Structure 1
Amino acid sequence: TILLQSLATVRGQLIDKETGKPFKNREIRYGVHVHIGDDNAPFQTQYGGTTFSDESGHFELEHLVVGPEYHITLVNRPEDQPDRITWQPVKKITLKDSHPLDLGRVEVEPPYQPPTLEERIAAAFVLKKTPLERFTYDRKIGGLTMQYPLILFGEPESKAIRELLALRFEDDEISSKLDSYLVIPVDTTESKRTAAQALAEAMGIKLNFDSAGLELYVTDTSGKQRAHADLAALSTDGKVSQKKLLKFLETNQVPKLDARELLDAALKQAKEQNKRVIVQATATWCGPCRRLSLYLDGERKLSERDYIWVKMDYRWTGAYKIMEKMRGGAQGGIPWWAILDKDGKAMVTSTTEAGENIGFPSSSSDREHFRGMLEKTAIRLNDMEINELVEGLKQKD
């Protein structure tokens, strides 16, 4: 028996929420999300089509059926990069019958416009702390993330700064090398010079306040200077050189570690001291990873009674393969972490019974899962101390 039913039509008018004007001649796609697996799995949009709004922003979707949830999406194609397509969700609808449905005015946020290079440069020099406070903070963070402070002194509107930051933001090779650094742009224009000078004095350096120049310093996490380059050292024919900047970053980057050696050393120590090993998958760009690292570092006095902490940074040789095998297909992003026994067997992980990764345990349910991880693996810690560790998460929330 084949059941047939009438098809429905949906109409509406796309309106720019910011200006109140219609979105003219815009590409619209619609359809049903068909997941390749459960509801959290990747999906394809099927059983729909493509249409366009007219000069007044009106559109019409045809051949919709009753029951399924349809997703209406606006397709954005930047004029200067027509192949760079982004999809902007507009509305979800579920038809209860086959009568034509008029959505009326459908307000849509204007398409995302990436900041210009000028805007990115200006934003880079806006520090929430003074340069000296930022340097002090980044030294602490760098000790946890294995990154060096990279201090850039210069005037934001100068030609040299624009050329260097254009490479930072737009050159893939340069961007890939910046994983080793925490970049601190410091404005040296006359009105900001006092703050810049305070940082320079703390670093033990003398700045050359040349409005057309720049100064790059790399320090270790104790504040000791590792390298310095000025405009002359980084330029060719009066322009900042990509090759020279790349060589400077490569020469002074954090040495790569071997993930297997790190893990083996932690397991050896665990056997000798009768402890467990906390293995954390992490990356320099991951905010929750940083929060978890700050928490674990702050609780060392208590946690190190039972646990040795080792970080599997994806920059380290072999880290990805080690964590891929340890996760065993567990879903979720990073930080993902596990507590191992002294033989390297995972006793508990940050994956819940529902298959979700708690990452940094910020919710009450996440913290309860973390409590369970400690209760199942603690050797010397008592219930009061475990509770203290769990409560400590709230201070980092």
Structure 2
Amino acid sequence: MRLATLLWVGPLLAQTGGVRFFTGTWEALLLEAKRQNKPIFVDFYATWCGPCKMLERYTFSNPEVGAFTDKHFLAYRIDAEKGEGPRLANQFRVRAYPTIVFLTPQGTELGRQVGYVDAPAFLSLLKRYAERLNDKQGKATPSWESFQEQYRVFFADLTGQAW
């Protein structure tokens, strides 16, 4: 009996302190983001994707990432190959997994992260995207600045060096 309880409760305990994902529909997510005036990050994943599993296990389970997300974002996970996932993956031009798309509360894309990123780097990304919202109406900064920042992050990931 104790073993059965541990097997059932263990995974729930392991999720404590990490990112809490919104569990409703896409439309409900957008309404909630507008209601709370919070930006969104959407994790597009596939069940067979190794880096997606690493992201879930090592990054999304991090208590600091979870606390920052709860305070500043609505988080949403969607299997890009099931349900409404294929339609949304096509809408957001997702070409690889995992892809995390950052959106304003109104649903306008701020930028994206493709591939695995560890907890400290993801927390840094979350902070940068939260800061990009100029005011409480969720206006995004100019797209050129967004491109430059994405390029810096990509370059740092590619070379292992920041500049």
- Tell me the TM-score normalized by structure 2: 0.61
Q: Distance in 1 between matches of 2:134 and 2:11?
A: 33
User: Structure 1 residues 147 and 156, CA, compared in 2 at 3 Å: closer, same or farther?
Assistant: farther
Task: Work out which of the residue numbers 226, 241, 248 in structure 1 matches 2:125.
Answer: 248
> Percent identity at matched positions?
13
Quote the residue 1:217 is aligned against: 101
Q: Distance in 2 between matches of 1:125 and 1:219?
A: 15
Quote the residue 1:187 is aligned against: 79
Quote the residue 2:67 is aligned against: 176
Query: CA deviation digits over 1:184-238, x for unaligned, max 9?
Result: 111124xx1x62222234xx42121x4xx3100011122111121101xxx5xxx
SS at match of 1:147: coil
SS at match of 2:10: coil
Q: Distance in 1 between matches of 2:21 and 2:38?
A: 20
Q: Which has the higher helix share?
A: 2
Query: CA deviation digits over 1:357-377, x for unaligned, max 9?
Result: xxxxxxxxxxxxxxxxxxxxx
User: Structure 1 residues 200 and 119, CA, compared in 2 at 3 Å: closer, same or farther?
Assistant: same
Shift of 1:249: 0.7
Does the alignment pair 1:226 with 2:110? yes
User: Structure 1 residues 117 and 218, CA, compared in 2 at 3 Å: closer, same or farther?
Assistant: farther
Number of residues paired by the alignment? 127
Q: Which has the higher strand share?
A: 1
Quote the residue 1:138 is aligned against: 29
Quote the residue 2:87 is aligned against: 198
SS at match of 2:93: coil
Alignment of 1:1-397 (within 5 A): 113-115=9-11, 134-166=25-57, 167-169=59-61, 171-179=62-70, 180-189=72-81, 192=82, 195-201=84-90, 204-208=91-95, 210=96, 213-231=97-115, 235=116, 240-253=117-130
Shift of 1:135: 2.2
Q: Which has the higher contact order (CA 8 A, sep 6+)?
A: 2
SS at match of 1:113: helix
Unaligned runs of 5+ in 2: 136-163
The one-letter code of the counterpart of 1:185 is: R
The one-letter code of the counterpart of 2:124 is: K
Asked if 1 retains the 8 angstrom alpha-carbon contact of 2:41 and 2:100, the reply is yes
Asked if 2 retains the 8 angstrom alpha-carbon contact of 1:218 and 1:226, the reply is yes
Q: Distance in 2 between matches of 1:138 and 1:181?
A: 11
RMSD: 3.6
Instruction: Give structure 1 regions of 4+ aligned residues with deviation exceeding 3 angstroms.
Output: 116-120, 124-127, 254-257
User: Structure 1 residues 126 and 150, CA, compared in 2 at 3 Å: closer, same or farther?
Assistant: closer
Q: Distance in 1 between matches of 2:118 and 2:15?
A: 22
Asked if 2 retains the 8 angstrom alpha-carbon contact of 1:125 and 1:187, the reply is no
